[in-house]
Structure 1
Amino acid sequence: MYSNPLLLLLALLGPTAILAQLNVLARKAGKLYFGTATDTGELGNTTYYSILTNTSEFGQLVPSNGQKWIFTEPLQGVFNFTEGHIVTDITQKTGQLLRCHNLVWHSQLAPWVENTTWTAETLAPMLEEHVFREAREWKGKCYAWDVVNEALDEDGSFRESVFFDILGPEFIKIAFRAAARADPGAKLYYNDYNIESPGNKSAAARTIVKMLQDDGIKVDGVGLQSHFVVGSTPSIDEQIETMRGYADLGVEVAITELDIRLDLPANTSNLAQQKEDYKKTVGACMQVKECIGITVWDFWDPVSWVPSVFEGQGAATLYFDNFTKHPAYYGVVEALTNKTDGGKPGCKSRREAKRSKPSFP
């Protein structure tokens, strides 16, 4: 019946796969977007760009690097927003939502930030000015800002950084206050990794939200980076429980940097497991109404950050080098159409959910 092998494959995958476009399915399921990060280096590839700007596939974009401190304030008091506006300009043309990332992070700082000898009296106004100037630059254009990124260590304590070492937790309050003053219409997020399952770090992330709320400071969401490893991704029930824990504080949740790396080379077995891991992660968001959207941390393997950081690992995204789709793409499709395994919505309280903590590298 099917002389063309591609048609046979599509038939086996089913009609949903043939018509699958992730943002369309996410919106149909009641989510705000399915999006992707992107960076300037890949924008010259015409195939990549056509997928990136297909609003049926991706309804939201985030600059991977262009809004980080090293670009936006390379010298003290000298602001340069050119790199960050490259992705912004795309969203202005296509109508895609823009997530903005990030205002304060211990990494990718301009060298002067770490090389200056600070006191609390000098660092606090500098930090406030940086956040205010950058957030004001994008006023009215960002759906959300990742205001503070990765302020926690793995045990739930605060990470040592130029900001924490001088100002303590107050640096978080300074940043959120300044961002709210600069762009009161944007959603303001705390964003981190390994806060997707029950444990000390996710509890500490909730404490950050409560700290801000107790001081009357605007905080709207928690971003779950969700950089996972094939075979050790948290279970769907663990992710649901954790998302609901944040939602119980009255904030929204988003999966902000999803990728799931595997040990190379990719093969039938690890790609099948990757599909299941993507499926349960997106499926968790589908079952928590306060989880408003999913962003993958770029969608094409050759531009993923993973191989340069994790030796021997890669193939973490949804598209192979030749732009064919990983099986994981269709796992996402299944999750977006509510074909998830486990995690029955409404049938398990947070106290009843499993509390085992998965191992991370």
Structure 2
Amino acid sequence: MALAALVAAANASPVSTTLKARQDISAPYLNSEAQAKGKLWFGTAVDTTSAEVDNSDYMTIFNDTNIFGQTTPGNTMKWMYTEPEQNVFTFAEGEETIALAEATGKKVRCHNLVWSEELPSWVTDGSWTNETLLAAMKTHITREIEYYGEGCYSWDVVNEALDSNGSFTENVFLEHIGEAYVPLAFQYAYEAVESFCGDIKLFYNDYSIEYAGDKHTAAVALVQTIQNWDGAQIDGVGFESHFSTSFAPTQAEIEAAMADFTALGVDVQITELDVPCTSVPCSADALATQAQVYYDVVAACMATDDCTGMTVWDFDDEYSWIQPAEYDGEGDGDLFYSNLTRHPAYTAVSEAIEGSDCSVC
């Protein structure tokens, strides 16, 4: 869909003339509830390269700022999209997310600048030295931050730099620059923001850091390294929170993990929450477990003053990145079914925000 059409869809009134009979846009309203309790938002990812933005029923829910007050581009600001060839920058697809957000009063968590995945071949297969790759990384970070500017509330500067055992993930940056690529990325990002006196928060984002373990310990140490790096700045840590009905930490475990980071003076946010069932369709028991996991994650954030926002990794099962055919039968992990009615987990999230007991767990 063209950018103008996306914005027109966001501004159209009423959008609901073609709603499915069972589409649910009634109260409770998760973003309104979260903001009333002092959080910045309850939000959702969106992928403007997928069919979801051509689905008027989906977009009606996405555009409702009472439900979602923030968005994250699922893919379009990653390196392979924004710099497919060295020094050839293509920012139009990322602009679509910012335009959608601005049209409906949403903040944007811009995602991401440096990651070992979704890199163009000129990065992964290049003949690099330490000096030349640092220059390329700095150029990429600087150009992207300066281009999108204040359209971004925050940036995930580095994404998933750690393996499950706490060691650094093998990638082209580690190979040619070493572990210093992480604090250097934050240094370059901070310099870019300062160049136009911007107010943009800089985050480290990762999964399996939401509970105690080697990776969590390593992530805490990494934040301290960034904080101690001359010229670098880090404002927060994203807890991705990709869980399932077969594994998830408890609310107490998540709160303890958050406390380890907030004690360092940084914020935390839930950034990519989803909870697929191990098989689909989800059984009644699985739906209750799924609701409990959503409840525990959101309740942990609500109980943590410096957990400032919560984002699900899209909200409709039809467009989830976890599809049964690709993930050994797992699926249906979002807050809305493919027909855009709500999982019981939607009620659980509302109850967690409001501080009441879970009635559907």
Fold-level match, TM-score > 0.5? yes
Runs of 4 or more consecutive aligned structure 1 residues displaced over 3 Å after TM superposition = none
Deviation at 1:340, TM superposition (A): 4.8
Query: Contact 1:127/1:174 (CA < 8 Å) preserved in 2?
Result: no
Count of paired positions: 325
Deviation at 1:111, TM superposition (A): 1.1
User: Counterparts in 2 of 1:304-315, with a 5 A limit?
Assistant: 304-307=320-323, 309-315=326-332
Structure 2 unaligned blocks of 5 or more: 1-24
Is 1:55 the counterpart of 2:65? The answer is: yes
Query: Contact 1:26/1:34 (CA < 8 Å) preserved in 2?
Result: yes
Per-residue CA distance 1:162-191 (angstroms, 9 max, x = gap) = 001111111112211111122241100000
Deviation at 1:329, TM superposition (A): 0.4
Aligned to 2:238: 223
User: Counterparts in 2 of 1:192-231, with a 5 A limit?
Assistant: 192-216=206-230, 217-231=232-246
The whole-number CA distance in structure 2 between the counterparts of 1:322 and 1:232 is 26
What fraction of aligned residue pairs are identical, expressed as a percent? Answer: 42
Structure 1 unaligned blocks of 5 or more: 1-16, 342-361
The whole-number CA distance in structure 2 between the counterparts of 1:33 and 1:317 is 18
User: Counterparts in 2 of 1:1-361, with a 5 A limit?
Assistant: 19-40=27-48, 41=50, 42-184=52-194, 185-216=199-230, 217-265=232-280, 266-307=282-323, 309-340=326-357
The one-letter code sitting in structure 2 at the alignment partner of 1:226 is S
Aligned to 2:14: none
Query: Contact 1:279/1:340 (CA < 8 Å) preserved in 2?
Result: no
The whole-number CA distance in structure 1 between the counterparts of 2:102 and 2:108 is 9
Query: Contact 1:25/1:337 (CA < 8 Å) preserved in 2?
Result: yes
CA RMSD of aligned residues (A): 1.3
The whole-number CA distance in structure 1 between the counterparts of 2:326 and 2:108 is 26
Please give the secondary structure, in 1, of the residue aligned with 2:305: coil
The whole-number CA distance in structure 2 between the counterparts of 1:273 and 1:134 is 40
The whole-number CA distance in structure 1 between the counterparts of 2:226 and 2:293 is 33
The worse-fitting range, judged by mean Cα deviation, of 36-45 and 261-270 is 261-270
The whole-number CA distance in structure 1 between the counterparts of 2:118 and 2:140 is 15
The worse-fitting range, judged by mean Cα deviation, of 229-238 and 278-287 is 229-238
TM-score (norm 2): 0.88
The one-letter code sitting in structure 1 at the alignment partner of 2:135 is P
Deviation at 1:63, TM superposition (A): 0.4
The one-letter code sitting in structure 2 at the alignment partner of 1:241 is A
Query: Contact 1:128/1:175 (CA < 8 Å) preserved in 2?
Result: yes
Query: Contact 2:246/2:278 (CA < 8 Å) preserved in 1?
Result: no
Deviation at 1:241, TM superposition (A): 0.1
Per-residue CA distance 1:241-262 (angstroms, 9 max, x = gap) = 0001100000000000000111
The worse-fitting range, judged by mean Cα deviation, of 215-224 and 150-159 is 215-224
Please give the secondary structure, in 2, of the residue aligned with 1:228: coil
TM-score (norm 1): 0.88
The whole-number CA distance in structure 1 between the counterparts of 2:264 and 2:67 is 31
Per-residue CA distance 1:226-248 (angstroms, 9 max, x = gap) = 00011421011000000011000
Deviation at 1:91, TM superposition (A): 1.2
